[in-house]
Amino acid sequence: MKEKVQSFGRFLSGMVMPNIGAFIAWGFITALFIATGWLPNERLSTLVDPMLKYLLPVLIGYTGGKMVGGQRGAVMGAIATIGVIVGSDQIMLMGAMVMGPLAGWCIKQFDKAIDGKIKAGFEMLVNNFSVGIFGMCLAIIGYYIIGPFMAGVLAVLNGGVQILVDHGLLFLVSIFVEPAKVLFLNNAINHGIFTPLGAEGVAAAGKSIFYMIETNPGAGTGVLLAYWMFSKDKVVRDSAPGALIVHLLGGIHEIYFPYVLMNPLLILATMGGSVAAMIYNQIFNLGLAAPPSPGSIFAYALAAPKGGLIPVLLSVVIAAGVSFVIAAPIVRFTNKGKSLEDATEEMKQMKAESKGQKVEKAVDLADLDSIVFACDAGMGSSAMGASVMQKKLTAAGLDGITVSHSSVSEVPNGTKLVICHKDLAARATKSAPGAKIVTIDNFMNAPEYDQVIAEIAAAKKKH
């Protein structure tokens, strides 16, 4: 379920993140030139509405189409998005997230269907007219069907959000957002959901609280401060100040995730800080004029609307203070569950999974009891290499480790260490995705053999 949610969220955020610069440009124009802005300008303020209604949705539709159908899909996505924009009175950012990928998928299916069937000399004619005709059809469908449908969906969503706002319950969202951040759903939530909702808020009021939910750096700041001041582990304590600078000033929030993963109770601290800040934001009706991406204290200051700089920065201070108060006793009086190194490795694996990548997990060589040599057929060079390695292991006093050989395509399940020729590395990784892969050039006399033995001996000695 987590992988499916991450995959869907990654797809949504993938349409928005490349265009964040456009959102920021629009936010700055709004904050500066509308009637209540820093530098009111009646003529320049006319840029605000067209950018929000046309530029931003078309960019999202273009990007979504490109993600699915390449450059032809991108053009199709832009054409199709115009249909939903004109077919509804609402801002169609989410409509663009539907039309862009749909258009890319349609042209991709068409290209597959005609592949190899176009007579020489007619390629350009077919390519150009297929995009034009299918784009026109999707724009019409968007105008009459998808645009009105998405308008109804948005009305329901906005109604639900308004209920939370009217009853002062929007802070409850933070209870779910903070754990989701550590699971690398942050981009999916922020750019896939909050950025489009925030744009509508800015259009209506010149600011939006949705830009302050996931991006507030205060919650992570409190945790890092607690480690800096109260951690019993010198390595962790010494690393916390550097992480704090990158997190608070650089806006790279993922750097504090390993510190939370070391002691999962600290998720209570980040939740508490975020909830406290959101209650404060709601009471004083705060918001930002643009998405602060990345979530740096500097980005917060730049995105603050006129008259909102100090209140917005105070929101970060409140989140950090509450988070610190909760985190300090947890750090000081409870045992951390794992080392910073292990937590960082876990974070890297979760991050890669959130991007749809397969990661070779770290293998504990301390309890290694077998090694598999792999070659193409599993009988020639791998058998020779296995024999050489077995002798070296025996000489090193590692008699408990057996060495076998197999085809690179049939590595036994559960194998932890595979040695193969460098040209077979990709196949070995696919055949044994959880194993450590060591690549060599010469099965009979590879320097990597001694390195592997040294690593195994060191791991067993440490254990």
Q: How far is it, in rounded angstroms, from Cα 368 to Cα 18?
A: 44
DSSP string of 104-135, one letter each residue: HHHHHHHHHHHTTTSPTT-HHHHHHHHHHHHH
C-alpha distances (whole Å) from 324 to each of 242, 263, 296, 394 are 17, 14, 18, 54
Tell me the C-alpha to C-alpha distance, in Å, between residue 301 and each of 22, 24, 117, 317.
Answer: 18, 13, 57, 13
Residue 285 makes CB contacts below 8 A (sequence gap 6+) with none
Is 375 annotated in the active site? yes
- As a whole number of Å, the CA-based R_g of the chain is 28
Angle at 151 between CA 146 and CA 155, to 5 degrees: 150
CA–CA dist 187, 197 (Å, integer): 14
Contact 370, 340 (CB under 8 A): no
Q: Give the active site residue among 106, 137, 375, 420.
A: 375
Of 144, 142, 68, 71, residue with least CA distance to 106: 68
Nearest CA to 273 out of 310, 328, 218, 312 is that of: 218
Q: Which amino acid is at 431?
A: S
Q: Which residues contact 27 (CB under 8 A, 6 or more apart)?
A: 202, 288, 289, 290, 291, 303
**Three-state DSSP class for 404?**
strand
Report the catalytic residues. Answer: 375
